[in-house]
Structures are given as structure tokens and as C-alpha cells.
A and B are shown apart, each in its own frame.
Chain A
Amino acid sequence: MMDYHPLPQPDQIETRIKEDAMGAYFMMFATMAMGIPLPILNLVAAIIYYYVNRDKGKFVQFHTLQSLYSQIPVTLLNSGLVAWTIVNLVKDLDFTGFYWGYLVMVAAANLVYFVFSLVGAIRARKGLFYYFLFFGKLAYYQVYRIRPEGGQSVMRNKPPGP
């Protein structure tokens, strides 16, 4: 049975922390901010945001991690779509049924991600937790589980050779 740190309640969280947690969900706009259609920019922004805000407490860490983890598959799907499109155009190949199915799926994934991120941002601003499917539990598990003490390396020094 796993033990977890207790969750803070909204009235226990400073406004500033709530704002920082909300900011994580806005990293999905990085590409738009830069004006370049490069899907990986969103992921890079999310990673940077996570690192910058790492020591601001578990509440922030939970939200930034949830946003970061859910951004990864979206970036991969988008990059795949961009690559598939360019290859088809350059090599003059046909756009098969699989391509259109993929495009629809990627559009759906982006839409879902966008909506969930928006809800997540609003909830974070209110000091609430919000759990994405899969990513929510993953982030919670990583941030809030209590790790056993004494995790230091138990290597001891020894002189060289016989």
C-alpha cells in the first residue's frame, strides 16, 4: 500500500503558487507565440517551464508535470503529421486513407488536449487539482508518493587493485 503526501487545499495555497501552476498549461501556446509552425517548440517550452518552476512546491510540480507529460504525445503526433505531409508532397505520393484517418485523429487529439489544458489552467488558478486521463495519475504518483528514506548511494571507497 503506497503512502502519499497529503494534498493541500485551495485556501492553503498562495496566490502566487496558483498562478505558477496555471502558467504550465499555457506553454502549449509557445509555437503560436513564436509564429513558427514547429511542433517541438511547445514541448521545449513545457520542459523549460518545468525546470524553472521545479522548486516551487509539489502543487506547481504536479501541474507542470501533468502538462509536460500530456504535451509529449501531442508533439509526437503533430510532428508525425508534418513529416508525413512533407514527404508526400516532396515525393509526389498519394494521400491515402490512412493519412486522412491520421489527420483526423491528430486534430481530435489536439482539440482534446487544448480543452483539457484550459480546464486544468482554470482549476490550477483556483488551487484545485485536476486529473487528465492517465497523465493525472502519472503526475500524482511521481510527485506525491512518499519515497523511502535513505535513498543515498551506499557505495564505499576502496583502494585500487590487489
Chain B
Amino acid sequence: MQKAILRDLLVLLGVFGLIWMLFSLFSYPEDPQLLSIQKEEVLGEAYVDLILLNPLFREYENSMVDSAVGVIGERLLEGLPDTEYSYHFEVFDSEMINAFTVPGGNILISTGLIGFCDTPEELAAVIAHEMGHVEERHVISRLIKELGIEILSSGDPYVIGEISSLLTSTSFDRRQEEEADSFAAELLEATSIEPRTLASFFRKLEKEMDNELLNQFAFISTHPNFYSRIRDALLYVPGDEFTTRSIDLNWEEIRAGL
């Protein structure tokens, strides 16, 4: 009888274990490999154009700022020789301290954010973080998960307009933020910038939060879990051979010009 009992138990466990495994594997696939990077870049261009038409995100035309951002961008790209994306950095005129990623390697940065950074290294840290979202394809995977691949591939201008509005308020989940943070730390180290600069930036933001109105800080509302991320950023220790090489920019002049 005891053997029969044991056999029954194994059958029971086996059947339900099988059900679990079977349905786990047949769940919807998560990887966004369904959309090619070329397609992503085409879509991204359309989104950026529409976003910049929005009065809240007017393109900021200033050659000094543009070239400064370009310098930082190029410095960071030194650490990403194998990237499949061709990055575009756009500056938009807004007091809000904000930066966000649009599919296709497009990173939008507000003048408010540039003004808030005391050094070009801080801005580099933020941009590196956004590049993390690009390289790990967080935005596109989120869009596919929430909207589905059909809506995303549609060329309908109304749909594209709606999606572009969504992009300015996309927030990532905790795992994606952590991935972007650690990507940024590694990229900063690879390009000889102090990797823990991101922590200083968050700390400044957090301090300002006590003083200013919350709606200035769209960045904060889409980037929760401040303290744990500051802690994790500070825990990153660069390798033994790490040295810093500062970014060659007259930052005060650039900020004054805003």
C-alpha cells in the first residue's frame, strides 16, 4: 500500500508540474526581436518629429549647446563601438528637468536638465543611463508589450501621434531602471568618466525635491526608488586601472548661454 501511495504522489506531482512547465513556455514571448532595429529607427524618426512639434517640447536651437551635447555624446559612443544604433541627441526647450528616450536611438534632453547639471560629467551620466534604455531596448519592448506589434507597425499618422505622446511619459519598471543604471556605470567607466557620478546627480535631484514644486520634476515622477538607486550607483567600484579624463568643455559658459 505504501508503494501505491508513493506512486500516486509522484503521478500527481508529475501531472501538475507538467502543466506548469507547459504553460510557462507557451506564454507570450517577451523579446522585442520582432521589430528590427531599422524599423525602430524609422519609427523613431517619426516620433521625434512629432514630439518636437509639441509646444512643451520645442526644439532648442543653440549651436553651442548642440555641439556640447554632441561632444558628450561622442565621448560616450567611444565606449560603444559595436552599437547597432545611430544615436541622435536633441535638445528641447523646457524648464523641466527631463530626459527621455525615443525608439531608434533618439535621446531628448531638456534645457532644464542641462542647466541643472554642474559638470558635463553629470550630463554624461544621465545620457549614459538613457543610452542604457536604448541598448537594452526597454522602450520598444514596453511599447510592444502594452500596445502590441500590430499597432506599433501601423504607419497611421494618428496612431503615431498618440504613441509619441505616450513616449514623453513612459516610465520603466524597477528591473529596467536597474539595468540602465548598471549599463551607465559600465559605460562611464569605459570612457574614463567617474561611474558614480549618477549617484551625485540623483542626490542633487532628491535634495531639490524638498525645495521645489513637484511638477518641475517630471524626471523624478518617472524615476522612482531614488535611495536604492543612489546606493547601488555608489556601490559600483571602478577597476584598478581606471583613471578619469575630464570632458573638455567650458561648462559655465554653456550654462550661461541657456
Q: Return the contact of B12 from the options A91, A97, A105, A133 (Cβ within 8 A).
A: A133
Is B20 a contact of A138 with CB atoms below 8 Å? no
Having A101-B22, A101-B24, one finds 8 other A-B pairs with CB under 8 Å, namely A93-B174, A93-B175, A94-B30, A98-B24, A101-B25, A105-B16, A134-B5, A137-B5
Is B9 a contact of A91 with CB atoms below 8 Å? no
Is A141 a contact of B1 with CB atoms below 8 Å? yes
What residues of chain B have their CB less than 8 Å away from a CB belonging to chain A?
A: 1-2, 4-5, 8-9, 11-12, 16, 19-28, 30, 173-175, 224
Who on chain A is nearest to B17 by CB?
A: A105
Complex Cα distance, B30 from A94, in Å, reads 10
Complex Cα distance, B24 from A105, in Å, reads 10
Contact-residue size bin, chain A (C-beta under 8 Å from the other chain):
20 to 34
- Given the complex, which residues of A lie within 8 Å of B11, measured CB to CB? 133-134
Is A134 a contact of B9 with CB atoms below 8 Å? yes
Complex Cα distance, B25 from A109, in Å, reads 19
Is A109 a contact of B23 with CB atoms below 8 Å? no
Q: Return the contact of A102 from the options B20, B175, B224 (Cβ within 8 A).
A: B20
Is A105 a contact of B8 with CB atoms below 8 Å? no
- Given the complex, which residues of A lie within 8 Å of B8, measured CB to CB? 133-134, 137
Is A97 a contact of B9 with CB atoms below 8 Å? no
What residues of chain A have their CB less than 8 Å away from a CB belonging to chain B?
A: 2, 91-94, 96-98, 100-102, 104-105, 108-109, 133-134, 137-138, 141, 145
Q: Return the contact of B23 from the options A100, A137, A141 (Cβ within 8 A).
A: A100
Is A94 a contact of B1 with CB atoms below 8 Å? no
Q: Return the contact of A97 from the options B19, B25, B175 (Cβ within 8 A).
A: B25
- Also in contact, A141 and B2, with CB within 8 A (given A91-B174, A94-B175, A97-B25): yes
Is A105 a contact of B5 with CB atoms below 8 Å? no
- Given the complex, which residues of A lie within 8 Å of B20, measured CB to CB? 98, 101-102, 104-105
- Given the complex, which residues of A lie within 8 Å of B23, measured CB to CB? 100-101, 104-105
- Given the complex, which residues of A lie within 8 Å of B28, measured CB to CB? 97
- Given the complex, which residues of B lie within 8 Å of A91, measured CB to CB? 174
Who on chain A is nearest to B2 by CB?
A: A141
- Given the complex, which residues of B lie within 8 Å of A98, measured CB to CB? 20, 24
Is A92 a contact of B173 with CB atoms below 8 Å? yes
Is B1 a contact of A100 with CB atoms below 8 Å? no
Is A108 a contact of B16 with CB atoms below 8 Å? yes
Is A92 a contact of B174 with CB atoms below 8 Å? yes
Is A2 a contact of B1 with CB atoms below 8 Å? yes
- Can you list 5 contacts pairing A with B, beta carbon distance less than 8 Å? A92-B224, A100-B24, A104-B23, A105-B20, A145-B1
- The distance from the CB of B31 to the nearest CB of chain A, in whole angstroms, is 11
Who on chain A is nearest to B177 by CB?
A: A92
Complex Cα distance, B241 from A94, in Å, reads 37
- The distance from the CB of B177 to the nearest CB of chain A, in whole angstroms, is 9
Is A97 a contact of B27 with CB atoms below 8 Å? yes
Who on chain A is nearest to B6 by CB?
A: A134
- Also in contact, A101 and B16, with CB within 8 A (given A93-B174, A94-B173, A133-B8): no
Complex Cα distance, B26 from A101, in Å, reads 8
Is A137 a contact of B174 with CB atoms below 8 Å? no
- The distance from the CB of A97 to the nearest CB of chain B, in whole angstroms, is 4
Complex Cα distance, B14 from A133, in Å, reads 13
- Given the complex, which residues of A lie within 8 Å of B22, measured CB to CB? 101
- Also in contact, A100 and B27, with CB within 8 A (given A93-B175, A133-B8, A133-B12): yes
Complex Cα distance, B8 from A94, in Å, reads 35
Is B1 a contact of A137 with CB atoms below 8 Å? yes
- Also in contact, A109 and B16, with CB within 8 A (given A97-B30, A98-B24, A138-B5): yes
- Given the complex, which residues of B lie within 8 Å of A101, measured CB to CB? 19-27
Complex Cα distance, B173 from A137, in Å, reads 48
